[in-house]
Amino acid sequence: MTTAEYLEKKLGPHKGNPHKIEGFFRDDMYRLFAQLGFTKGIEIGVEKGKNAQTMFEIIPNLKLYGVDPYKQHPQASYAYHAKIRNWNDQYLQNCKRQCLKRMNGRNFTLLQGFSEVMIEKVKDNSLDFVYIDADHSYDFVMQDMILWGRKIKKGGIMSGHDYYIDKHETDRRTKVTQAINDYVKVHKIKLYTTSEIHHDQKGDIYPSWFWVKLEDVYPNVIGR
């Protein structure tokens, strides 16, 4: 059974694009990864390592890479910086310390550097999944999907954070959504999203998104 067939069996027929899975949250997505036998993945944008820790708690025998420069990208826009927390050097180094503490004793490798540089450290078609939660501006999200998509095996899953829709807001999360929508439209990809959690509940508030990498999405890198 292919990954796409398993998703249809597990989640039902794909309806709409995106197909929002009611009552299905990010932790459930990681359980899905475990059920699929995924054991090798990467998170782009690790920050304090909280999400990586959750992956290890849910996915058995996981080998996880994490990409994070722990410094600001020189080409990130001022508008983007203005929207995020005061990520000065002191804050970012504290994030790194917390990440390494959480990852201590786990099968984790930190690739410290900018995403478009660290891409050279990972072989094409070698990963079961990618999870993107880095720079939330349109261009960087699009770049990460294109570059890191080449690293996923056929039948693996591309995924990420913050599929966020609000017609009254145009913050950085909406740029993530715009980039994803444009990409899946061009490649005719079946997109899935998790459910959101209310602010008064414990858990990840904003939805995650994912799709299966099919042979016709990256024909230039499949079967090398």
What residue ranges define each of the domains in the chain, with the CATH number in brackets? 3-212 (3.40.50.150)
Instruction: Express each pLDDT in 21-62 by its tens digit.
Output: 999 999 999 999 999 999 999 999 999 999 999 999 999 999
Strand 127-132 to 19-20 pairing: unpaired
- Residue in 146, 170, 160, 214 with CA at minimum distance from that of residue 192: 160
Note if the pTM is more than 0.75. Answer: yes
Structure tokens at 133: 């939660």
Alpha carbons within 13 angstroms on the beta-carbon side of residue 189 total 27
150-193 per-position pLDDT tens digit = 999 999 999 999 887 655 455 555 788 999 999 999 999 999 99
